[in-house]
Structure 1
Amino acid sequence: MTNNRTSPKVEEFLSKATKWKEEYVKLRAIVLDSHSELIEDFKWMHPCYTFNGKNIVIIHGFKEYCALLFHKGALMKDPAGILIQQTDKVQAARQIRFTNIEDITALEATLKAYIQAAIEIEQAGLKIDFKQTAEYNVPEELEQKFAELPALKTAFEALTPGRQRAYLFYFSEAKQSKTRVSRIEKYVQSILDGKGLND
């Protein structure tokens, strides 16, 4: 299937796939057939499809399902009620999940319409209105640690907004104060070193 719109790396990925192989091949055919200007790339270890250099949709697989992931899915209308937000942390992307080839085949026309809609969002230059760091609550336990260790507050404020949000979300999602305290203690040095939660 190699041509100027497809990627040899995706060919290699598909040739090595054991789980979801048939589903990947079908999803790939649907994506490429949905718009003549979509270009296949290989990013984040998965087939990714771009339009004018912008990421539109990714094909990826998990243990329980494979999926199409739309980068700006939060902006898409969902008349079929099939877009899924993976976790509360995910602000922009939305998935459509599949567990077998029959599901994909049954939704082929719908999938092409959703891909077209995602391209139109990109063409219109629409942007995701990301939740700002200031909208996240700073846990009381972190405020206390900042008071004890002013250098920590300085280092935290020097982090990128994305890193700050990741820490605030991770610290705040613990239900018990002692858990929040232990999470904060664990990452004090990382914050002082200018590192993010996953660095």
Structure 2
Amino acid sequence: MKKVYSVEEYIEVNSHFGEELTLLRSIINSTELSETLKWSAPVYALEGKNVVGLGAFKNHFGIWFFNGVFLKDEKNLLEQAQEKTKALRQMRFTGMADIDKAAVLAYVKEAIQNQKLGKEIKPERKGKKVDMPAELKSALNKNSVLNDAFKMLTPGKQREYAEYIQTAKQDATKQTRLEKITPMILKGVGLNDKYKNC
């Protein structure tokens, strides 16, 4: 889809659902949400937080509820957008006859209320613990300078070094790898830094 620069242009590009999108837009704009354009689509926010959005496709159009998982959905109008989306829900339509204006407004108002209450799914932190191989642990215990340098590395870089030692099959290889990475750790660089800057 080509980049659009206004909600009007978005509706024009999706003119096969132009009337329907205009109706949904007017329902949403009757609330306190502010209209913006994000990801080349209309998004409606409350104090900078995305609450709902409009979307049009070839055979359907709809409203996205960014934290729709918290809606009561008494009329059973919501669908999970994708299996991996935890919070996002959509109200999907194929034509003007599908739109129940009162229901749409009620759902949008409930979404606004939920936003005011701070109901949202927080993204999970991916802070995996570094699984330290015995050889690396031993080297760090014997050398306090190396240990301090290792602690200064990001958890990601620490993990890279730990896995590098762990994946060696033979003790001799583990020792060789340990000797190779020691000066790198002391310099404060990651194992794969030289590849990341390419």
TM range (shorter): 0.5 to 0.7
Aligned length: 134
1:68 aligned to which of 54, 60, 63? 63
Secondary structure at the counterpart of residue 20 of structure 1:
helix
Q: Which residue of 2 aligns with 1:146?
A: none
Partners of 2:53 and 2:65 within 8 A in 1: yes
In the TM superposition, 1:70-89 aligns within 5 A as 70-89=65-84
Instruction: Identify the residue that residue 90 of structure 2 maps to in structure 1.
Output: 95
* Residue number in structure 2 paired with 1:9: 6
Q: Which sections of structure 1, spanning at least 5 residues, go unmatched?
A: 1-7, 135-153, 159-188, 195-199
In the TM superposition, what whole-angstrom CA distance separates every residue of 1:120-172 from its partner, at most 9, and x where no partner exists?
A: 111011221556658xxxxxxxxxxxxxxxxxxx57x68xxxxxxxxxxxxxx
Change beyond 3 A, Cα 1:90–1:193: farther
User: Contact conserved, 1:66 with 1:97, CA < 8 A, in 2?
Assistant: yes
2:44 pairs, out of 33, 46, 49, with 49
Counterpart position of 2:22: 25
Distance in 1 of aligned mates of 2:196 and 2:105: 46
Aligned to 1:123: 116
TM score, norm. by length of structure 2: 0.59
Deviation string 1:92-131 (CA, Å, 9 cap, x unpaired) is 1100000001111xx1101111001100111011221556
Cα pair 2:14 2:56 within 8 Å, conserved: no
What secondary structure sits across from 2:79 in the alignment?
coil
TM-score (norm 1): 0.59
Asked whether the 8 Å contact 1:67–1:97 carries over to 2, the reply is: yes
Cα distance between partner residues in 2 of 1:130 and 1:92: 10
SS in 1 for 2:98: helix
Over the matched positions of the two proteins, sequence identity in percent amounts to 33
**CA separation in 2, counterparts of 1:19 and 1:113?**
26
Matches of 1:62 and 1:12, distance apart in 2: 15
Cα shift at 1:43: 0.8
1:9-57: CA deviation from partner (whole Å, max 9, x where unpaired): 1122223333211111111011112x1x211111111111111221110
Q: Is the 8 A contact 2:65 2:90 kept in 1?
A: yes
Give the structure with higher Rg (CA).
Answer: 2
Aligned equivalents of 2:15 and 2:48: distance in 1?
30
- Runs of 4+ with >3 A deviation: 129-134
Q: How does 1:159-170 map to 2 (within 5 A)?
A: none
Q: Distance in 1 between matches of 2:46 and 2:61?
A: 22
